[in-house]
Amino acid sequence: MLARQVARVLGGAVVTGWALSLSIAGAPVAVAASCPDVEVVFARGTADKPGVGFTGRQFVTALKKRLPGKTVSVYAVNYPASWNFSKSTSEGAVDANKHVQYVAAVCPRTKIVLGGMSQGAGVIDLITVGNRIIWFFKPAPLPDKMVNHVAAIAVFGNPSRDISSLGPLTKISPLYGSKAIDLCATGDPYCSSGNNFFAHFAYPWNGMVNEAATFAAGRVLGTQN
């Protein structure tokens, strides 16, 4: 069963990356002056090229529609998204952790939305589940005070759901579980016992991207508990 789960996780695919980010090199005052209302920090999936993938574009578009009048920027987690899953995911967690803390320090009023797909969901797991071991992955837990800056989390095809000792992020994260929506399409073999490979790519069409955007927008606006 473990071998099957590892193979399924390593087969994780497409996820969004993001093209825009805050400039770390800029002077803090200049950066603060251009702070967005919302920053989406998203990790793409296995073997996906850097940038915003289709699921990610759909999620951001849907989120923006639900946040009229709000400025929304996006940051692509800088990590390999490679088939060396443990090394790649752990590196992604370090980068995501650093960026969240950077935004919180420079733009303390900016509300952060974390997101990821497949392996990218695993990246988000590693920064939000606390200092606990998950198989052969190295966690990079956010400092507890970051919970006040993260408004919402949306993950798709999260492989932790298919591990009996873990589960969806909503249950395994002590601080962020209530801020999260963890979606798994029916039959998606990377987050369930299903065997419908195409379900893993169905999030933009099956209504779950819109569901996640509605949840995240509600958390940002304070209308979603």
Q: CA–CA separation, 137 vs 123, rounded Å?
A: 10
**% of residues, the chain, pLDDT over 90:** 64
| pLDDT score at 27 | 33
| pLDDT score at 48 | 83
Residue 207, number of CB atoms within 10 A of its CB: 12
| pLDDT score at 33 | 57
Residue 200, judged by CB atoms within 10 A of its CB (0-12, 13-18, 19+), counts as buried
Nearest CA to 131 among 120, 149, 144, 118? 144
Q: Which residue has the higher pLDDT, 82 or 18?
A: 82
Assign 3-class secondary structure to 19-49.
Answer: CCCCCCCCCHHHHHHCCCCEEEEEECCCCCC
What does the pLDDT average to over 148-167? 87
| pLDDT score at 70 | 97
Which domains are seen in the chain, by residue range? Answer: 2-16+27-219 (3.40.50.1820)
Q: Each residue of 93-137: pLDDT tens digit?
A: 999 999 999 999 999 999 999 999 999 999 999 999 987 777 778
Which residues touch 165 (CB under 8 Å, ≥6 apart)? none
pTM: 0.84
Q: Each residue of 23-81: pLDDT tens digit?
A: 333 334 344 558 999 999 999 988 888 866 788 888 999 999 999 999 999 999 999 99
Which residues are known to be catalytic?
A: 118, 188, 200
Which runs of E-coded beta strand occur in the chain? 38-43, 72-76, 111-117, 150-156, 180-183
